[in-house]
């Protein structure tokens, strides 16, 4: 065994030691460092053998002792590893504004229930809990069990997405649908005795100040308002939402007008109800000049040839609106919609699990599907086959949301999954945020396979005017920050403090190694946050972007 003087630790091993010291699990380490779960286990095996220890605690103690004894050898790397941990990076010096969309499921008091009713109620709430837990996980949200059978889910914290409010209202709609269907099932308990135990669903969105990347969110106003709405939604049998949620997610569901009569609803303000899954979508094509190209796409796909459409825009928040508009137009042309909302993690196995769960929840109203594949077929091919078989029953439109949805959806399906879909009536619309030097929204038609072609058709449209979100919060930029690698995140947060300085000055001040700074520059230019400036070097694409990023991170009190 080597002596302590002979032991060296790589930068990756020092990163892992720093995360072990924070109490992170193997799964959390894999997510933070964006490496495989098995890779983490392999690193730990090598670390334990190198340090001569048998558990995590001893590894941290021994490694920390080595770093103190030999600071010249370990100090710089250890500090750099700690700084580059995404968690340590943003927790070290800031709070952030987050737009949190909360969903509360309210269960009525069961004090007067009979034993038979209590038995049915318990099974109902347990089955609902299991269904919602799986769906919230697929949508990359957070979920908690509340006292007396209630439940709470929320989006926007600690992981931010472009479409958190959309995820919340879709979850609320699904919850109501699931509850209604469950109540109609055959049971020894008469329907009139089941009805008093059915849940109510409320959704509210509010700006929240929070310490970045923590797993807890305390005293959230969105939770309180959602709970008020949930209590009042039980008698209406439709989820209720506040006005900001409707403003943030105007197109994900059909909205119903309600007159709020309960006194406590005055605390919420204007209230709307979320319509059922059976209501037709709203035609939004007028927002985008009538989508003149889209009818040709629909006609071509109905003949049996798939069409992939990449949506490219800046700012990225416009992408969701355009995907919604094309999705609604397709549904009004007889297509069935499957909405895929990408999670914040990027490992293929986890993406596949999330996408498959979301697809299955979207197809609850459909005939059960059967896989006609050899046992050797991969999971991506099976997912593609699910879409292909569903499209043979009814033309299908798949709407993939997220900063990197286009590439991640391709990754999950793989070539075989894409081939399964190519000769079927399927439209795939996916966000593909890329470097664009002006505020614009474009769609790129790629044919039956998502391959970048030099002569692919591109349509550029004028984006509709949007009201700015309250408190100067930019949901799209927060989502971008969450999605960046640690070096890229450190550069834009540091540079945004003084947008007049060049990006190169920020890199020099952070003492980033050359390979990391070059990788960060490529990442930041590929998504359009920074651009090359005349005369050399890089700068923020515009002052508004830099100032918006600056407002997202506020000094600690």
> What is each CA distance from 403 to 314, 327, 528, in whole angstroms?
11, 18, 11
Q: What is the pTM of this model?
A: 0.80
Closest to 124 in 3D by CA, of 68, 206, 175, 182? 182
Helices and strands, counts by H and E, the chain: 21, 16
> What is each CA distance from 432 to 64, 153, 405, 438, 502, in whole angstroms?
43, 28, 6, 16, 27
Judged against a pLDDT cut of 80, whether residue 414 lies above it is answered with: yes
For residue 88, the model assigns a pLDDT of 41
What mean pLDDT, rounded, does the chain reach?
84
Judged against a pLDDT cut of 80, whether residue 129 lies above it is answered with: yes
Position with higher pLDDT, 34 vs 181: 181
> What is each CA distance from 130 to 55, 141, 486, in whole angstroms?
34, 15, 34
pLDDT tier at 71, thresholds 50, 70, 90: low
Position with higher pLDDT, 285 vs 471: 285
pLDDT tier at 397, thresholds 50, 70, 90: very high
Per-residue pLDDT tens digits for 303-353: 999 999 999 887 777 889 999 999 999 999 999 999 999 998 878 888 999
Q: For Cα atoms 237, 283, 467, give the angle at the middle one, nearest 5 degrees.
A: 85
CATH number of the domain located at residue range(s) 289-461 in this protein: 3.40.50
- Helices 294-302 + 317-332 axis angle, to 10: 50
Token pair of 282, please?
Answer: 């709203």
Domain extents for the chain? Answer: 4-84, 95-274, 289-461, 484-554
Token pair of 278, please?
Answer: 């059976």
Cis peptide before 272 (omega within 30 of 0): no
Per-residue pLDDT tens digits for 268-299: 889 999 999 888 899 999 999 999 999 999 99
Buried b (16+ CB within 10 A) or exposed e, 267-287: ebeebbbbbbbeeebeebbeb
CATH number of the domain located at residue range(s) 484-554 in this protein: 1.10.10.10
Judged against a pLDDT cut of 70, whether residue 164 lies above it is answered with: yes
Architecture of domain 95-274: 2-Layer Sandwich (3.30)
Q: Are strands 95-106 and 553-554 parallel, antiparallel or unpaired?
A: antiparallel
For residue 388, the model assigns a pLDDT of 94
* Residue 286 DSSP one-character state: G
Domains 95-274 and 289-461 equal at CATH topology level: no
Average pLDDT over residues 27-38: 80
Percent of the chain with pLDDT over 90: 39
Closest to 100 in 3D by CA, of 220, 227, 251? 220
Percent of the chain with pLDDT over 70: 85
Give the residue carrying structure tokens 């004028």.
Answer: 462
The fold for domain 4-84 equals Arc Repressor Mutant, subunit A (1.10.10)
């Amino acid at each position: 065994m080597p002596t302590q003087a002979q032991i060296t630790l790589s930068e990756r091993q020092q990163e892992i030691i720093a995360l072990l010291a924070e109490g992170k699990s193997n799964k959390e380490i894999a997510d933070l460092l964006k490496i495989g779960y098995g890779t983490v286990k392999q690193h730990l095996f090598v670390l334990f053998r190198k340090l001569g220890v048998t558990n995590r605690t001893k590894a941290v103690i021994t490694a920390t002792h080595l770093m103190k004894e030999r600071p010249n050898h370990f100090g710089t790397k250890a500090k750099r590893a700690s700084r580059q941990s995404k968690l340590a990076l943003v927790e070290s010096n800031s709070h952030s504004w987050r737009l949190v969309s909360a969903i509360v499921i309210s269960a009525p008091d069961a004090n007067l229930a009979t034993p038979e009713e209590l038995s049915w109620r318990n099974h109902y709430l347990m089955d609902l809990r299991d269904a919602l837990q799986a769906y919230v996980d697929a949508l990359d949200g957070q979920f908690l069990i509340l006292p007396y059978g209630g439940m709470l889910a929320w989006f926007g914290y600690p992981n931010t997405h472009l479409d958190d409010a959309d995820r919340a209202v879709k979850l609320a709609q699904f919850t109501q649908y699931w509850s209604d269907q469950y109540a109609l099932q055959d049971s020894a308990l008469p329907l009139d005795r089941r009805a008093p135990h059915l849940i109510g669903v409320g959704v509210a969105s509010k700006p929240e100040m929070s310490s970045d990347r923590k797993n807890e969110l305390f005293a959230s106003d969105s939770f309180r308002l959602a709970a008020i709405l949930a209590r009042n939604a039980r008698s209406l049998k439709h989820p209720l939402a506040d006005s900001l949620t409707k403003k943030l997610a105007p197109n994900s569901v059909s909205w119903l007008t309600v007159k709020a009569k309960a006194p406590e609803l005055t605390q919420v303000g204007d209230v709307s109800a979320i319509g059922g899954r059976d209501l037709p979508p709203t035609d939004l094509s007028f927002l985008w000049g009538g989508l003149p190209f889209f009818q040709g796409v629909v006609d071509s796909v109905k003949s049996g040839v798939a069409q992939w459409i990449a949506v490219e825009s800046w700012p990225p928040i416009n992408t969701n609106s355009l995907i919604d508009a094309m999705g609604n137009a397709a549904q009004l042309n007889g297509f069935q919609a499957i909405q895929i909302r990408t999670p914040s993690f990027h490992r293929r196995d986890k993406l596949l699990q999330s996408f498959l769960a979301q697809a299955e929840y979207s197809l609850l109203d459909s005939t059960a599907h059967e896989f006609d594949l050899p046992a050797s077929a991969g999971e991506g091919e099976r997912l593609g086959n699910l879409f292909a078989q569903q499209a043979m029953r009814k033309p299908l439109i798949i709407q993939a949301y997220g900063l990197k949805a286009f590439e991640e959806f391709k990754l999950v399906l793989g070539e075989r999954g894409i081939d399964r879909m190519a000769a079927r009536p399927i439209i795939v619309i996916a966000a593909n945020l890329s470097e664009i030097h002006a505020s614009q929204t474009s769609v790129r038609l790629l044919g039956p396979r998502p391959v970048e072609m030099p002569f692919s058709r591109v349509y550029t449209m004028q984006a509709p005017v949007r009201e700015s979100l309250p408190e100067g919060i930019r949901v799209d930029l927060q989502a971008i920050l969450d999605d960046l690698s640690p070096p890229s995140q450190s550069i834009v947060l540091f540079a945004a403090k003084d947008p007049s300085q060049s990006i190169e000055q920020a890199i020099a001040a952070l003492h980033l190694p050359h390979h990391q700074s070059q990788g960060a520059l490529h990442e930041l230019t590929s998504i359009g946050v920074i651009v090359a400036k005349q005369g050399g070097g890089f700068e923020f694409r515009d002052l508004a972007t830099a100032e918006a990023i600056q407002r997202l991170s506020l000094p600690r009190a």
